[in-house]
Amino acid sequence: VCVVFLQSCQCLAWKPRPARVWPCPVESQHVVAGYSDGTVRVFSVSRTEMELKMHPHAAALTAVTYSTNGEMILSGGKDGIVAVSSPRTGMTIHVLADHKGSPITVLQCTRKQYHDFGVEGGELWLATSSDRRVSVWASDWLQDKCDLLDWLSFPAPAGPEGLDSLPPSLAAFSPWEHGVLVYVGFGMQKEALFYSLRKKQVLRKISLPAFATSLSLSPAVPFMAIGFGDRLLRLQPCPAGEPQDYAGHDDTVHLCRFAPSGRRLLTASHSAVLLWELTGA
């Protein structure tokens, strides 16, 4: 079943499965999608139909995700605005303009405990924008709390070209190191940075052969997948180890996604989608 719209879908995310329920019932599976007209739309997988349409943005959507419990939808636009909306009521409860002026490239949520970092909140989430800035937030949506925990800005050499032609700024919480996030993007060096939210500093760096175009961290084992513009995919053990490089794509590897089990990896380029089986993962 295909649903056709005049606007283009720019980003999407699966709703997290209910806690302690596996496998997730088909009737409870939902997908949220962000569109070029600034709308956020929620689709039911079982009914193959749109259940909710919200319009929290004035610009095209560039990133979207669910909160860890699936009760909120976080969306980011080409103008740098981040909105937090309720799929239950259809209302937008927060609008954050901290990244205003630069497209949002990544939104990610992760679970946390209260007072882990001296602020109240039920989860951490981060927003990354094209201008190499990352904001980290602690939130408790039921209590209407959303506090800025950290603000990162990574330097880069001056260049005559615009942001659209530069490698993307990408960040992700580490599944294996509590309170650590990984950042890749255009900068002074071609490298992946491991930043500690507790120590407020970069713990270590891993050199890369080129500026990364995609990033995914395995939820099961300390490995990260990194895509590059020269058709290269790299599997990098962390915190150190010999990387494994793979060819096979016809163009820039612009998407890497580990499966929740960590046993499979999905990668995509201009006209190819590859599914990798990771032995020993």
Q: Would the pLDDT of 24 be above 80?
A: no
Task: Write down the pLDDT at residue 201.
Answer: 95
Q: How confident is the model at residue 248 (pLDDT cuts 50, 70, 90)?
A: confident
Distance CA 15, CA 231 (A): 31
Within a domain: 269: yes
Q: What's the pLDDT tens digit per position in 135-149?
A: 999 998 888 889 999
Residue 124 falls inside a structural domain: yes
The domain tally of the chain equals: 1
Residue 2 domain flag:
no
pTM confidence score: 0.90
Given pLDDT bands bounded at 50, 70 and 90, which one contains residue 159? low
DSSP letter string over 193-237?
Answer: EEEETTTTEEEEEEE-SS-EEEEEE-SSSSEEEEEETTS-EEEEE
Segments forming the whole domain that contains residue 159? 9-14+28-277
Which pLDDT belongs to residue 281? 52
Lowest mean pLDDT among 82-86, 150-154, 211-215, 258-262: 258-262
> Pick from 162, 278, 274: which is nearest to 221 by CA?
278
For residues 17 and 224, the model is more confident at 224
CA-based max dimension of the chain: 51
Backbone phi, psi, residue 27, to 5°: -70, -15
Instruction: Look at residue 20 and tell me if it is in a domain.
Output: no
Q: Token digits for 279?
A: 């032995």
Q: How far apart are CA 36 and CA 9, in angstroms?
A: 6
**Residues ≥6 apart with Cβ < 8 Å to 243:** 234, 235, 236, 237
Assigned domain for 140 exists: yes
For the domain that residue 153 is a member of, what is the CATH number?
A: 2.130.10.10
Position 23 in a domain? no
pLDDT at residue 78, as a whole number: 97
Task: Round to whole Å and give the CA distance between 259 and 22.
Answer: 15
The 10s digit of each residue's pLDDT in 34-64 is: 999 999 999 998 888 999 999 999 999 999 9
**How far is residue 93's CA from residue 95's CA, in Å, rounded to a whole number?**
7
- pLDDT-wise least confident of 84-98, 111-125, 201-215: 111-125
Cα separation, 73 vs 32, in Å, equals 8
Residue 150 lies in a domain: yes
- If one compares 133 and 272, the residue with the highest pLDDT of the two is 133
- Least Cα distance to 218 among 172, 254, 274, 185 occurs for 172
* Any domain includes 21: no
Is the pLDDT confidence value at 161 over 80?
A: no
**Chain CA centroid to CA 259, Å:** 14
Which residues, including other chains, have CB under 8 Å from residue 9's CB and lie 6 or more apart? 33, 34, 35, 36
Q: Mean of the pLDDT values across residues 106-118?
A: 82
pLDDT over 70, % of the chain: 90
Q: Is 213 left (phi over 0), alpha (psi -120 to 50) or beta?
A: alpha
